[in-house]
Every structure is written in structure tokens, then in C-alpha cells.
Structure 1
Amino acid sequence: MTGRRRSFPRPFSHAPAVAIASAVVCTAAIASLLGGCGSLPGVSGNSGEKTPITVMTWAPEGTKATNMPGMPAMAEAYARWVNSQGGLSGHPLKVLTCNDHNDSVAAAQCAQQAADKGAVAVVGSYSLFGRSFLSPLEVNGIPFIGGYGASEEEFSSPLSYPVNGGQASLLAGNGRQLARNCERVALIRPDTIQGDQMPELLNSGLEKGKRKPAHDIKAPEDGTDYSGEVTRALQEVGADPSDAGTLASDGQSTGSCVTASLGDHTDAFFDSYRRLQKDRPKVHIASVLGSVNQSLVDRTGGASGPLEGAYLTGWYPVAGDARWEPMRKVIHDHAFGDNRIDPADQGVQTTWIAYTVLKALVQQLDDKGVTEITRHALQKALDRGDRAIDTGGLTPKLRWRDDDMLAVQDFPRIVNATVTYQAVQDGHLVAVQDGFVNVTKTLEERRTEG
């Protein structure tokens, strides 16, 4: 961590010299800059410079489980870009970053660091440990804007303002997408607390499409070989050559499907799948964006790899959509070749959207004459939702008023339960349906255990 520069008291006898030197510098400056002399960094002076806005973005990096290094890297690139444009409505943007190490203690430490360093919000971050990091944020009144949605608590805390429907909408949407084409489905998911929610959510989408629940197959979150899970999945869906690819009377495929959601280790699963499936009838494979992206498709062989034809569910438009062009330009001009940033990664995309929300909020406050952007001011603007926030078509317009919250059991803070359907065709992720698919009813009507 970079230490904060400290101004040590100077001996009293030096004060006249300092004052004389300052006066000489000011006299030599052009008249328009006179008011700026004597201003301290980050403090408004007579020149009209606005106070900086400090925020934090965190994510796990260098761990054996899911890593999201592109999120803090995107935040830093965004700050360089927005500051080159004069800041957020004139306020310089300072971004702090933190590594939560996929650890509950480290996640809480990141949140406390945000509080200690004066962050007015945490923006576009990823952590599985919502209970650990949201408590210190709530105590200090720090809004959590546009988190990735990896923890259930992000959709229940009054200080959380999600921009997507998290794991819940992805899996419900994936179930609905698979219901169109699959009679039998197996789900391979992490053997974790977060993974335990996945079958119910996927099944809500399958049941909406009048399909049977998926076979639930648990797998180690940090596995390197999933041969056992692949074998079991193929057995469970009954990969029989006599029915693969045939059509039912309603025109739907009665084929077998295997969907996997294992974060960074989904590539290891599909490597095992590629080796074992070649001696069996082909089944459809599927996943959710975040577990699969274009770079994984490329690494596994593109059009000739195991992901060709895969069904994928995401939150946002396909990565090649023109609506991402502003983000791509910022990455090109201000990321300086930082290879942590993949424009097709949903973490990077979520961070861009979260900072778009922050920019809009600061503009709204500026329009009202608010000169100091505080934690309370941001929270008030978010809760009141005077104007819906336009994210450039990357999501529906967003608000977080009470009236905007969806009636989704266990996830009361969801305001956007839309997804997109994509597939891998000729080695590229492409949209298979125009626009967003709203899975609100699927989530609201799902049957929960207990």
C-alpha cells in the first residue's frame, strides 16, 4: 500500500521565509491564477476547484478460486479518463483499490479501509462475503453501488444499490433459455454456500418452461480436473444417440444439456468435458457469462472447441455491441495496455456501469447546487431517485426507490432482473435474441425450500 504523505510542522522561525516565497510566486503568476495560491491539494480554494471524490473498488486477485482483477483496473482507467475530462462535474475522482483475497476477514478489512480513508462510496466491486463487508459499510453509512452481485446480502442491505440481478437472474434466465431446447439438464456448480442456491434458481427457469428440475452435481470450487463430475453429468442426462437433437411436437429439442457455473474454474470443467465427451453422443452445453467469456472460447479452440454451440446467459448486451464503444475507447486510451482488463468480462462491464451511475449521481447533485459530495448526499440521491439513470442502453434505466424494488423473495433489493441470451457461433459470442429478457416473474413465482 502506498503511504499517505504527511506534512510535518515546520519550525516557527521558517514561517516568514515561507510566506515571502509564497508571495513572490503569487506575484509572478498571471492574474487569473492569483486566487489559487496557498490552496492545499484536494481542498477548494478561491480558484473554484471542487473537492475530490474518493471511492473504493475491490475484488479478489491471485487466489485459487474466482479472481476479478479487471474490476479495480477498470476503475483506475475510468478515473484517469474522467479526470482528463475535468472530473465528475468538476470534482477530481480518486479511486482506492483493495484485494479481498476471497477471504471474509480481508473483505471486512477492505470495507474498513474504505471508511478510514474517507471513501464516499464503494463502486463496482466483487466479493463473496457480503455479510463481512456490508456491516462496516452500513456502520459508516457508505453506499455500495453496482456490486457484481456475488453475495446474497447485496440484495438485502439498505446501503446496496445493485445494477443487475446477480446470480439469481442469471440462473433463472439460464433455466428459461435451456427450457427452450433441453428435455434433461444437469447442473455442475460449486460445493459452497453460494452454490447451494443455484439449483433452485436454475429450476425456477426450467419449470417456467415446463421442464423437469436439473440434476444437481456438486464440484470443488478450485478443482483442476472435473472428469468425475463430467461423467456423472453425462450419465444423468442420458446422452443417448437415439434422441439427441430430435424434436418434440412443440418444436423444442428433446436433447440433453449440461450447464456449468464454476467461475474461473469453468475452463477446467470444459477441458475435462472435451476429453470425455468425444466418445459419447454430443450434448448441448451451457453456462452463464462470468463463468464463460470470449477469451475462454478462444483459449479452448474457438469454433473447433467444446464451447462451440454453447448456450450462455448474461446480464448485458453481447460484448461486440456498439453500446460498449465508450467503454472500449476509455480502455484503449487510458488503460495503457493493462492486460487485466478484458472488455468482454462481466466484472469489467459491471464496473463501467457502476461508475456510469456514480457519474450521473454526482451530476444530479451538482444540478441541485450540492457542492460537497458526501456519503449521506449520495445515499439520499440514490434513495430518492429523482431521475432514472440512463446507462447508455447497457441496462434498463435504473432507480432504487422503494417502488422500484421487485417482490423477489430473498432478494428484495433487485431493481433490474433482465438478462440476455447469447450463444457461441463460429467461435464468437453472439446474441440469439434481441433486447433484454425480463425474468422478474420467474424469480417472484419460484418455489423455495422451507
Structure 2
Amino acid sequence: MTGRRPTLSTILPTTHRRVRASALSAVAMTACASLAAGCGAVPGFSAAGSDEIKVMTWAPQETGATNKPGMPAMASAIVRWVNSQGGVNGRKLKLVTCNDHNSSVSAANCAQRAVDQNVVAVVGSYSQFGDSYFPPLEGAAIPYIGGYGASNEEFTSPVSYPVNGGQLTLLAGLGEALAGSCGPVTLVRPDSIAGDQLPQLLDSGLQARGHAKSVDQLAAEDLTEYDKQSQQALERATSDPQKTGCVVPELGDRTATFMDNFQRAREDYPKVKTAAEVGSVDQTVINSTGGASGPYEGSYITGWYPVASDKRWDQMKKVISKEAFGDNRIDPADAGVQTTWIAYQVLLAALNKIGGGDATSDNVRRTLNAGLKVSTGDLTPSLSWPYQGKLSAAGFSRLVNTDVNVQRVKGGLLQSANKKALDMTEILENADLN
């Protein structure tokens, strides 16, 4: 079985013409199609002696800070599923994983390992240290597909193909969401260069809807308790007794510590709301902090994708059930797991476009650069990466998905709070991000 694999819209009838219906089960065909180009060959039709296509997924694991074990675990499940269907154009995927340990040195080592292993792409990964891992990837022209948006380099590097808008879109979207429901808004953020950009992002959404700027409350980066900061934030959020104030903690790894202190202090300020973005808080954090009885109940949370209960995630959940049942590292509600799922759809679409040609990092990158449009089942807008993206003028040339989904915690679960995603393009174009 050689040549280009049929497109998603024609896979079923074309496959039926090529093999008897008894060769494939209906379940296998449905899940194969769900990967939007993931199955270039069917069981029993792998090319004899075909070589493997190496890919890499990395994330921090077993550290004292941010951990994303679900991302490489999800990658493993996807690779097992694709290979169980015969691979991609008759070639099996081989996954290489790496632990970046939340360390710039380890992140650079992971990137060098990707170079040494000659992977075709780094896919669906998480690291905060773009300045450490992009130089080796750029030197070897290895595409970085679907990072978490944890560093600005993901939106500027020529080898980066982000599938979401990172913190840029989430904070702007959060400001827009809070403008109509909050009185005074207090932003608690690190006293650092990285933290200096956060007020502009949040305020861009607030002011676009006629709200006043947030109160910018700084906190030292190395604090281990936030009793004083929690009290100050609550007092500022209640400066207008006629309106319900909101507190937005943006403290990275220390957000959970702040929220512990804040929850105790809030007993005297029951009307104050909290809000966050999925880069700081997702369903796994909500679960670990008490769910419906925790500090995030009632909070607005902005995310990149639809809520986990949305039917558009059904195919991902089927693959998890089939290939990773009982693996508690994989939570379908985790934004990292979701990002990995979408990123692999991009990779598989590129490999499908390449067809029977050489599946190399150069060819994957060239295929993506040539204007390939990737459908993700409406989990995101159609994705493509032109030379100049939507926000090139603002300095983020690789940012192509500016959609934000507003969610609210009800009964301990993230639930959709808007009928359709908010497009942050215009707001971010007008924001002062310098």
C-alpha cells in the first residue's frame, strides 16, 4: 500500500474499496478518523521493513513546582493507538520522552537529545525555558508543535507552531470576562520582569469593555506565605462597597500557596470573587484544592479550549480509554493533556500531507510553512502558520489562535460560561505589550 493516504473526508469509502470490510472493525475506523490524518495505513498493510518516525514529548515531572506528567503519558497513548492501526503511511511512530525538571539546563538537554535522536518534531510539550531549548531546535530545524504557551519564545521562534495563545490571550480574555461582573479588580503578581507584563494584558480586556484598570499588587518572588498580601488584596477588592470586587492571583507555582492564605482571610469578605486563567488553575488544581468546597468555587477561569465535558473531546477520551485505561497521570480535563492531543493532530496532518515522502524534520517544517490548514474538530479554529501571524505587529508572529473560552467553577467542575469563544485579536492588537 503506497502513495498518499486519503483525506479524512474520504478515508472510509476509499479504505472500503481497498480492503474488505471484514479487515477493519467499525470501532477502529471511527477512532482512526478522529485523529484527523493519524492513520496512514490500516492493520495488516504496514510496509514491510519500513523505518520508524521518531517524535519527542517533554514535560516536567516529579518536581517541587509545576508538573505535567499527563502530557508525555497522553503522547504515549496516541502513539500506541496510531501504531495499533498500522502507523502513518506504513511507518510506526516511536516516542522519545524527556523530563525537563523545571530547569533551564534540563530543558536544553531535552532539546539536545531531540537533535541527537533525529526526531521529526517535538510535539505537545511543556517547558518554561524557551530561551534554553529553542536554540538547539532552531539549529537543527526541528519543529516545536503545540507547546503550552509557557514562554514568549513559543510565539516568536520560526520553528514554533503553537496551537493556543498562551497567557497572552487568557489574561486579556479574563479581563473582558470580569469587566461586566466585577467592581474593583486586584491583580496579585510577581515583582519581576516577567510579571511586569501581566497588568497590561489583564487591563487590555478590562478597558476594552469600559472597566477601570486593575490594582497592581506586587509580591516578592521568593515568598513562602501570603497572609499580608491576601489581606491587602481583599481590602483593595472591597474599596467600592456598592460593587463585588475580584482578586486575580498570577503567581505561577506559588498561586496555590497564596490561595491557601487567601481562603482563610476571605472569611471576613464573603462577597469577594476570585478569577484565574488555565495557565495557573485548571481542573486538576480545582480538584486538589477541595473542588466545590475549595477556594475556586464560583470563579471565572479562562481557557483555550472547550470544557472537558464537551462532546468534541469524545474521540480523545476513547483513545485514553483504549490505550491508557487506569493511567491516573492522564486527566482529560487537564489543559496539558488537551494540548498534547491537539498538537499530535497537527503532526499527523503534516505527515499525511507528506504521504510516502521522507518524514524528516525539514519536511514537516516545510509542510507546515507551506500553508497547511489543520482541522482539530472545532476544538480550536482551523490552524495554519503564515510567515506573519495575527499579532506580528505586537511582536508575536507565531501566535495564530487567539480564541479564549470563558468557564466558571460550579459544583467543583469547570463549566462553559460563554456560548462561543472570544477572539482576542483586536484587543491584543490595541494593547500596550511593550
**2:350 matched to which residue of 1?**
361
The Cα of 1:424 is off from its aligned counterpart by 1.0
**1:375 matched to which residue of 2?**
361
**1:385 matched to which residue of 2?**
371
The answer (yes or no) to whether the contact 2:403–2:424 under 8 Å persists in 1 is yes
The Cα of 1:87 is off from its aligned counterpart by 1.3
SS at 1:402 equivalent: coil
Any stretches of 5+ residues in structure 2 without a counterpart? 1-45
Q: Does the alignment pair 1:262 with 2:251?
A: yes
Distance 1:230 1:70 in 2: 31
**1:419 matched to which residue of 2?**
404
Please identify, of 79-88 and 310-319, the stretch whose mean Cα deviation from structure 2 is larger.
79-88
The structure 1 segments of at least 4 consecutive aligned residues displaced by more than 6 Å after TM superposition are none
Q: Does the alignment pair 1:205 with 2:191?
A: no
Deviation sequence 1:135-190 (CA, Å, 0-9, x none): 00010110111111100011111111111111100111111111121231111234
Query: 1:307-386, aligned counterparts within 5 Å?
Result: 307-366=296-355, 369-370=356-357, 372-386=358-372
Q: Does the alignment pair 1:444 with 2:403?
A: no
Query: 1:13-412, aligned counterparts within 5 Å?
Result: 48-219=48-219, 224-238=224-238, 242-243=241-242, 254-366=243-355, 369-370=356-357, 372-386=358-372, 388-402=373-387, 404-412=389-397
Taking only aligned residues, the RMSD between alpha carbons, in angstroms, comes to 1.9
**2:12 matched to which residue of 1?**
none
**1:16 matched to which residue of 2?**
none
**2:4 matched to which residue of 1?**
none
SS at 2:55 equivalent: strand
Any stretches of 5+ residues in structure 1 without a counterpart? 1-45, 244-253
The Cα of 1:289 is off from its aligned counterpart by 1.4
Between the aligned residues of both structures, percent identity stands at 52
SS at 2:185 equivalent: strand
The answer (yes or no) to whether the contact 2:182–2:245 under 8 Å persists in 1 is yes
Distance 2:147 2:210 in 1: 33
Distance 1:156 1:105 in 2: 21
The answer (yes or no) to whether the contact 2:249–2:255 under 8 Å persists in 1 is yes
**2:14 matched to which residue of 1?**
none
Residue identity matched to 2:348: K
Distance 1:55 1:97 in 2: 9
Deviation sequence 1:292-329 (CA, Å, 0-9, x none): 22233333333333222101100000111111111112
The answer (yes or no) to whether the contact 2:391–2:428 under 8 Å persists in 1 is no
Distance 2:412 2:336 in 1: 22
The answer (yes or no) to whether the contact 1:115–1:140 under 8 Å persists in 2 is yes
The Cα of 1:391 is off from its aligned counterpart by 0.6
Residue identity matched to 1:89: N
Question: When the two structures are superposed, what TM-score results if normalisation uses the length of structure 1?
Answer: 0.82
Residue identity matched to 1:261: E
The answer (yes or no) to whether the contact 2:167–2:279 under 8 Å persists in 1 is no
The answer (yes or no) to whether the contact 1:189–1:217 under 8 Å persists in 2 is yes
The answer (yes or no) to whether the contact 1:361–1:382 under 8 Å persists in 2 is yes
The Cα of 1:77 is off from its aligned counterpart by 1.4
Distance 1:323 1:263, change over 3 A: farther
Please identify, of 424-433 and 127-136, the stretch whose mean Cα deviation from structure 2 is larger.
424-433
Distance 1:93 1:220 in 2: 45
Please identify, of 414-423 and 96-105, the stretch whose mean Cα deviation from structure 2 is larger.
96-105
Alignment: residue pair count: 389
Distance 1:448 1:357, change over 3 A: closer
Residue identity matched to 1:106: S
